[in-house]
Amino acid sequence: MDDEASEPQPLAGVSELPLFPLEQVLFPHMLMPLHIFEERYKELVTRCVRESIPFGVVLISRGTSTTPRAETFRVGCTARIRRVERLPDGCMNIEVVGEQRFRILETHEVRPYRTGITEPLQDVPGAEEAVLPLSEDVQRLLKEFLTRQLALLGQRDVEIELPDKPELLSFTAACVLPLENDEKQAFLEETDTAARLYAERAVLKREVTRLRRAAESVETVTFQPVKASLFQSYLCEN
């Protein structure tokens, strides 16, 4: 049975959030599927659906997702549950969408799962003349990166649509680029859109160059086809 969650609501001011430490980074507007099997997180999901509240995804800095008190970074992203699939064994498959970044001020261990007192984290407004050229470069390079990745996987002539808004584009790039979690976390914590785009442009130039060389060195190779939505599935349509 699938349960549909309520419409997303923005996080406002200092608030207490249920926290879900994970070994991956969630970005605003990006989608993430999760398999819920621990009792403490079943309780967390049940509460969030019942009360129509988000929970906070935070990257683990020491320990694992099953460690009782794993250490985490202080900056995370709120996750709104979009869909819940309840399985016969009592586990759940859920789909969440990232909404807003937050900084943890303090944590509590009173419930079976951790909670945190948090405050919103937002980008500082920057000069448009500095952001727009970077945004155009990143959009162009990211489109080439995704197009070449898909071509290597046997998918050609695929139309890829990317966000025009610089901040959203920067989160999209941070989500899909092949980076280590600590590098993705640094992009999540960055509060300067231009700085995030500048760093992503450097990564994209490197990755696009690598893919161009790979394409030149491959003559006839048979690849396993994949769906064109492989990379586009990260982005929430709403």
Q: Quick check: 6 pLDDT over 50?
A: no
Rg of the chain, C-alpha, whole Å: 19
pLDDT score of 233: 54
- Residue 85 neighbours by CB distance under 10 Å: 15
- Residues 89-143: tens digit of each pLDDT: 999 999 999 999 999 999 999 999 999 999 999 999 888 888 999 999 999 999 9
* pLDDT tens figures, 159-210: 889 999 999 999 999 999 999 999 999 999 999 999 999 999 999 999 999 9
* pTM for this predicted structure: 0.84
> Widest CA span of the chain, in angstroms?
60
The answer on pLDDT for 23 being more than 90 is yes
* pLDDT above 90 (res 66): no
Q: In this structure, are residues 20 and 57 in contact, taking their beta carbons and an 8 Å threshold?
A: yes
pLDDT at 216 over 50: yes
Is 236 in a helix, a strand, or coil? coil
As a whole number of angstroms, the distance between CA 198 and CA 179 comes to 15
Q: Which residue has the higher pLDDT, 227 or 178?
A: 178
Report d(CA 30, CA 190) in Å as an integer: 17
Contact of 158 with 188, CB cutoff 8 Å:
no
* Domain spans, the chain: 2-120, 128-232
Evaluate if residue 236 carries a pLDDT over 70. Answer: no
Query: What pLDDT is recorded for position 221?
Result: 45
Domain 2-120 has CATH 3.40.640.10: no
Band of residue 222 on the pLDDT scale cut at 50, 70, 90: very low
Average confidence score pLDDT of the chain: 88
What average pLDDT does the segment 62-78 reach?
89
**Average pLDDT of span 149-154:** 84
Q: Of 202, 192, 195, 187, nearest to 73 (Cα)?
A: 187
